[in-house]
Amino acid sequence: MGHLRQFPRRSRLPRGATAPDPIPAPVGAFITVRDRYSIFYDRPVPSLDMPNALAFEVEDRKQPGRALYALISKPEMLARISVMRILKGNEVSNTLQMVDWGAADWPPADRKCIIIIYFRPLGGRVMDSLSAIREKIPEHQFPKLIIKPIADALIELGQKGITHRAIRPDNLYYMDEGRQKIVLGDCCTSVAASDQPVVLESIESGMSGVYGRGSGMYADDMYSFGVTLLMLALGRNPMAGLSDDEIIDRKVKTGSYAALAGDERLPVSMIECMRGLLTDDPEQRWAVEGIDLWINGKRMTPVQAKSETHSQRAFMFAEQEFFACRPLSVQMHRHWDDAAKAINDGSLEIWVRRGLENNNLADSIAAVAKTTQAMPGDQKEANDNLVTRVLMLMDPNAPIRYRTFSTTLEGFGTSLAIAMLQKKTLQPYIDFINRDFWRYWVSSQTAYHPDHAQWEGVFKDLKNYMKDTNSGAGIERCVYELNEWLYCLSPLISSQYVLEVKSVLPALDIVSKSSNTKMWPVDRHISAFLRSRYAKGTGTQIDAMNDERPDRATTGMLSVLAIVQWRLGPDTVFGLASWVGGLMGPIINSYQNRQKRKEIEREIPKLVRKGNLPELYNFVDNPEERQRDAEGFSWAKAEYAAAEKQMFELQTGQMDRDENAQKMGRQTGAGVAVVIMLLAYAVTLIGKAF
Amino acid sequence: MNKSRVFLYLMLAIPIGLMVIPTMIVLMFALLPSGVAFIMERGKGIYGGVCVGAMNLAGASPYLVDLWFEGHTVEAAFGILTDVFAILVIYGCAAFGWAIYATTPSVVSTFMTMTAGRRIAALQDQQKELVLKWGPDVESVYEQEDKKED
């Protein structure tokens, strides 16, 4: 990724060259990135704001005069890093040209934010907002001014594997002041399709939660394109003022084209194009190549609207009559508990069998009802499972709906990430994984899709992570496994916007000054992030960190940081080393020799001052020292036990000792007497001799 | 002890005994306390008899030397035995031997108890040092193993 530095570097001039005139310093409150772009946070450009990003003026010090602006993605939103990586430096015609992007410290938010610098559109937005009314674009201008450029842009994006998912009238811009060149706006500052109102999304995408729509398919972009064209043709949003539920109801009831175009007077030449783009069947919806052909005058095959099977008899639900599955499933999702009753009492099954004459579907509903009721667990959980699965059967194209939570499989990961970021309840996501909702959705699909097979492995792993309550697993691991470019959400370093493993230690080093140093610098999020992004390098160490013994766990924590520094740098992390050094208590106490403990305590500050964690780790967990300590301790224990035994024997062996003393005394007495006798004879004999 | 050995000892002892009859006479009476001691203390070994006997012999030493050097005769032997002072010295030394035999064990016992106390104190100091060096985890309690009786 691009890291944007803030401080300019000195440049060297060749010999003989004179220094150029100095560039006047920018005036105002700003940050400098890449040593050239000054982003003024006291000069907002509200007219270019995005729903989840604010626009500010930018000056390029190396090329003054270039019209640029920056979008600062809000901290509580995720940006599409994978798309930015592709778009940077790659001009895509008829889109806002990205100049640069990266994470940089943003003073107003007091943290790092994603910043994207674009060329500034000089003509402003094509439509100020979806509630605005603008002058209709003349029919003859549509193909050249709007359709062709946007179609070309979508072709190029498609070639790069990118779905835009932010096509709407207020995200189109005039690049020139003459308002002749229209370009597609930003699609990177928020999660795919999350800024799209329901009116601009297909029925299925509209039914999903905004963060769970996923990157979608090119057909989703074509739908949004079609609605955009319709709005520009009408000069307004034909569904303005309606709620999201009402919009979906109308689309489901009459089809998207009829709901949107209705009685509106559309340009005749545009009708065929709009019908093609707004067909609800993604298979029949026009691809971008079809637009090209249409522009060039080729007659396209008329779109055959597939009508859903209707029942002769109505099904009463929520005080309404329903004759088809899809609209009924929409209402059942909104009246969850009533839906459970309707399924459990068999009325739904009967209506499907007799009204819709769909025995397969009726059998499937009955089987699901039987299975879920037989499963252990409480009734509420069983009903939730039941309704979720039955809704999938009734409308396989819809997203997975579970009470108030709905998501596509593809969008589950980003939805989970946003929920974590915004500190929302994660229980629906945990239930989603543990109850295998994905499996039921895949099995409810009528058509095979090669992507379905991949979900087996993905969700199997997620379920295993959920079973493991240790650090490095759990729901945190799931979110990083599902989102390749999610930054580390640990409260310790989230402000540093860490996207790669090699940035973890520098981030911890920065925050060490203000963090609670009694806590470990490796929390559940960081260990899950490392495990996900760098499993080979940190897996064993993170497992050690989960050990029950405090000394082993602390050693594991130190080893995690040490191995990351050793393999990925940086060379020194003074702040982090000091933080970690203060947590070495359990490791020090694991040594039995008190002298050794004092030695380690004396040495740790010296090693901390070097800022080298591998060295610190090698010192506190030296295998030879450990062995020496263990052996010494064993000897000491044996010595203590032997002394204890001797004392016991000395204290309790009084009788034996007395007996010995008696014996020894008699022997001594006898000996003394014999000596005296010998001396007496010797003295007497010597006296006699002399 | 087989008969041949007994015969050998007798063959040695009788001629020697005949040669040292005066000494034997003196010793027979002088060593009466020793005999008593051997008999009385025979349950506790020979040390009682040895102690008293050695002191007994020590008391008899000047008189025996005189006997050996100034006339090894029966008369001289009886002269010693009828000398009250000599008997007093000989039996007094035997009494001293008894005193040594009686008091030495308690002296030794006292000494051993003192030594044990010092040893216990030394062991406790050693244990304190171990605890200082290795911490309280080094401590253990000695439990005597029960001896199984058949």
- Sorted by where each begins, the domain ranges of chain B are 3-108
CB neighbour list of residue A265: distance below 8 Å, 6 or more residues apart = none
Check if CATH label 1.10.510.10 holds for domain A124-295.
yes
Q: With contact defined as beta carbons under 8 Å apart, do A31 and A6 qualify?
A: yes
What does pTM read for this prediction?
0.79
Burial of A428-439, coded b for 16+ CB within 10 Å and e otherwise, reads bbebbbebebbe
DSSP state of A5: P
Alpha-carbon span A577 to A586, nearest angstrom: 16
CB neighbour list of residue A540: distance below 8 Å, 6 or more residues apart = none
Q: Which tokens sit at A568?
A: 């990925």
Instruction: Please report the number of interchain residue pairs, chain A to chain B, with beta-carbon separation below 8 angstroms.
Output: 146
Q: Which tokens sit at B148?
A: 């199984």
Residue type, A99: V
Among chain A residues, the shortest Cα distance to B133 is held by A594
β-sheet with A124-125: strand ranges across: A124-125, A172-174, A182-184
Q: With contact defined as beta carbons under 8 Å apart, do B88 and B54 qualify?
A: no
Does B44 sit within 8 Å of A643, measured CB to CB?
no
Other Cβ atoms less than 10 A from the Cβ of A345: the count is 11
Q: Which tokens sit at A100?
A: 């640069």
Alpha-carbon span A385 to A378, nearest angstrom: 11
CA distance A685 to chain B (A): 7
Where are the extended beta strands (E) located within A192-317?
315-317
Among chain A residues, the shortest Cα distance to B115 is held by A650
Query: In the CATH scheme, what is the code of domain A30-119?
Result: 3.30.200.20
User: How many residues does the structure list for chain A?
Assistant: 690
Given this model, what pLDDT does residue A449 score? 77
Grouping H, G, I as helix, E, B as strand and the rest as coil, residue A320 is strand
A584 burial (CB, 10 Å; 0-12 / 13-18 / 19+) is buried
Contacts with B126 from chain A: Cβ below 8 Å:
639, 643
**What distances in angstroms separate CA A352 from CA A312, A393, A442, A509, B56, one per listed residue?**
11, 11, 21, 63, 131
Grouping H, G, I as helix, E, B as strand and the rest as coil, residue A71 is strand
Given this model, what pLDDT does residue A167 score? 97
| Residue A7 pLDDT level (bands cut at 50, 70, 90) | very low
DSSP state of A8: P
Q: Which tokens sit at A538?
A: 């940190």
Which of A284-298, A302-316, A494-508 has the largest mean confidence? Answer: A494-508
CB neighbour list of residue B133: distance below 8 Å, 6 or more residues apart = A593, A594, A595, A636
Does A633 sit within 8 Å of B61, measured CB to CB?
no
CA distance B9 to chain A (A): 25
Taking only the tens place, the pLDDT of each residue in B100-116 is 999 988 888 888 888 88
Nearest CB neighbour to B100, from listed A633, A660, A673: A673
| Residue A641 pLDDT level (bands cut at 50, 70, 90) | very high
Taking only the tens place, the pLDDT of each residue in A598-621 is 999 999 999 999 999 999 999 999
| Phi-psi label, residue A400: left if phi above 0, alpha if psi -120 to 50, beta otherwise | beta
**ipTM summary value:** 0.79
Domain residue spans of chain A? 30-119, 124-295, 308-397, 399-486, 491-621, 653-690
CA of residue A187 relative to chain centroid, distance: 18
Half-sphere exposure of A474 (CA within 13 A, CB side): 16
Nearest CB neighbour to A667, from listed B47, B65, B137: B47
Alpha-carbon span A563 to A505, nearest angstrom: 11
Taking only the tens place, the pLDDT of each residue in A511-556 is 999 999 999 999 999 999 999 999 888 889 999 999 999 999 999 9
Q: With contact defined as beta carbons under 8 Å apart, do A101 and A114 qualify?
A: yes
Which residue in A307, A282, A260, A105 sits closest to A204, CA to CA?
A282
| Residue A25 pLDDT level (bands cut at 50, 70, 90) | low
Q: In this complex, is the C-beta atom of B128 within 8 Å of any C-beta atom belonging to chain A? A: no
Given this model, what pLDDT does residue A256 score? 95
Residues 37-66 of B with CB under 8 A from A: 44-48, 50-55, 57-59, 61-62, 65
Given this model, what pLDDT does residue A28 score? 82
Nearest CB neighbour to B51, from listed A669, A684, A685: A669
Alpha-carbon span A184 to A180, nearest angstrom: 13
Contacts with B60 from chain A: Cβ below 8 Å:
none
Among chain B residues, the shortest Cα distance to A665 is held by B105
Rg (CA), chain A: 38
- What string of DSSP letters covers A481-528? HH-TTPPP--TTTGGG---SGGGHHHHHHHHTTTS-TTS-S--HHHHH
In chain A, what percentage of residues exceed pLDDT 70?
94
Alpha-carbon span A166 to A170, nearest angstrom: 10
Does A636 sit within 8 Å of B130, measured CB to CB?
yes
Grouping H, G, I as helix, E, B as strand and the rest as coil, residue A315 is strand
CA of residue A599 relative to chain centroid, distance: 44
Nearest CB neighbour to A594, from listed B58, B132, B142: B132
CA distance B3 to chain A (A): 32
Residue carrying the six token digits 């493991």: A468
Nearest CB neighbour to A684, from listed B61, B103, B126: B61
Other Cβ atoms less than 10 A from the Cβ of B118: the count is 10
For B124-140, what is the mean pLDDT? 92
- Between A248 and A651, name the one with better pLDDT: A248
Q: With contact defined as beta carbons under 8 Å apart, do A176 and A123 qualify?
A: yes
Query: Cis before residue A570, ω within 30 degrees of 0?
Result: yes
Is the pLDDT assigned to residue A333 strictly greater than 60? yes
| Residue A8 pLDDT level (bands cut at 50, 70, 90) | very low
Alpha-carbon span B65 to A682, nearest angstrom: 10
Contacts with B111 from chain A: Cβ below 8 Å:
661
- Specify the pairing of strand A124-125 against strand A37-44: unpaired
Residue type, A619: F
Q: Which tokens sit at A336?
A: 């969850």
Is the pLDDT assigned to residue A6 strictly greater than 50? no
Does B50 sit within 8 Å of A665, measured CB to CB?
no
